[in-house]
Structure 1
Amino acid sequence: MRRAGPFSLAVALLTLTLAMPALAGGWAVTTLDSLPDRFVAGETYELGYTIRQHGVTPVNVDKTQVRISEDGGKRLSFDGIRDGGTGHYIAKVSFPKAGAWTWEVTQEPFAPHALGPITAVAPSFAAGQASAPPVPAQQPRSEPLIVLGIALALAGAIALFGTRIVAYARPARA
């Protein structure tokens, strides 16, 4: 029975160590100021955006870029330059050719924020034909991390106190 104490303590410490980062909320999102109706290949767009820690509080970051990736693998990066209030940046972005792209904003030290798929149209389409509108950014979901933290804490509590609960539940021997 004495050997269960150190093991239970180790499990509890491991559980707390793993659960705390999940509950700490070390994440950020990027919100774009506005988007043009369409992106035309070859044109440069000045995109303003704000990085918000926990999705709320504007925060300055070490380095930020808007990164675009073509479905074929070509990847380009455009540096964000601090502009205006806390956490606000501007990047000059250009899609070199028409087609489907994905894009994200890096926000070091936080994980990159994916902005989803985007289509750049050829200059001939820009004059009169409609293109698909830009896709709004999706917010990361924190619920799975909270559920994981609670599950780990519960597992640690069971490991720590489980043997004691079983001992109290048994009828006394005569």
Structure 2
Amino acid sequence: MLKLAAAAVIAGFVSMGGWAVVTVKDLPEYFVAGQQYTLEFQVRQHGRTLLSGLRPELVIAPPAAREVVMPAVARSAAGAYAVTFTAPAAGDVRLTIRSGFGNNELRLYPQTVVAAGGSRPALPARDRGQMLFVAKGCNTCHANSDLTDRPENQVITVGPELGGRHLAREYVIQKMKNPSSQVMPDLGLSDADVAALAVFLSGDRAAASGGRGRGSR
């Protein structure tokens, strides 16, 4: 029944007009100024159907500098695109992917750019999971009140609200690796990305702090 209801909701949105979900494949935790990066992503109509033949763009908004718009190129796989760019000067950079399908776009969390030759400690698992929840397009279909300073993206509430639910980590991992759903697609997530998302969605404080939960010394 739930699957039928979700399918009916999607059908309603189709009749109202198209929408798309952008999923970033491999998002670095940070960028190094002056280095080249290739950002790969997929575009799915209504969260399901991979869309080819689009003309997506990446908008780069560096700190205290003008925006730069870079065209993406199609990959051989259906609905897959890539854009190569040079990381700007050190600071927080804002990246927005314009899908090329209507006005649908994905604003990522601000990304850190470190100075040439520099590095940054790994993000806590919860913070990384929150970043990926947006970058993978999860927030397009699932509202989540646990997101901090959420980028202003379109939210089509096809799936359930996930904020404050503290889902079991094992359940989250199984669901993302094997969706077995007529609505939720298999995004081909890496084990590392799934693990970070599971920490964020489960509210696991111990895992989020590297095992130093309450009572740890």
| Residues 91, 113 of structure 2: 8 Å contact kept | yes
Match of 2:62 in 1: 70
Match of 2:106 in 1: 113
| Residues 35, 47 of structure 1: 8 Å contact kept | yes
2:62 corresponds to which letter in structure 1? E
Q: Distance in 2 between matches of 1:72 and 1:61?
A: 34
2:70 corresponds to which letter in structure 1? F
Q: CA deviation at 1:93?
A: 2.1
Q: Which has more radius of gyration?
A: 1
Query: Counting helix residues as a fraction of each chain, which structure ranks higher?
Result: 1
DSSP-derived class of the 1:119 partner: strand
Q: CA deviation at 1:71?
A: 3.8
TM-score, structure 1 normalization: 0.60
DSSP-derived class of the 2:118 partner: helix
2:34 corresponds to which letter in structure 1? G
Greater relative CO (CA pairs within 8 A, separation 6+) = 1
Q: CA deviation at 1:116?
A: 2.5
Q: Please, which runs of 5 or more residues in structure 2 have no aligned partner? A: 1-11, 141-153, 159-217
Selected match of 2:88 from 96, 100, 104:
96
Selected match of 1:130 from 121, 125, 135:
121
TM-score, structure 2 normalization: 0.49
Match of 2:73 in 1: 81
Q: Distance in 2 between matches of 1:22 and 1:88?
A: 22
DSSP-derived class of the 1:50 partner: strand
Q: Distance in 1 between matches of 2:16 and 2:47?
A: 14
Alignment: residue pair count: 123
Identity among equivalent positions (%) equals: 25
Q: Distance in 2 between matches of 1:130 and 1:25?
A: 43
Q: CA deviation at 1:64?
A: 0.7
Query: Counting strand residues as a fraction of each chain, which structure ranks higher?
Result: 1
1:121 corresponds to which letter in structure 2? V
Q: Moved runs in structure 1, 4+ residues, more than 6 A?
A: none
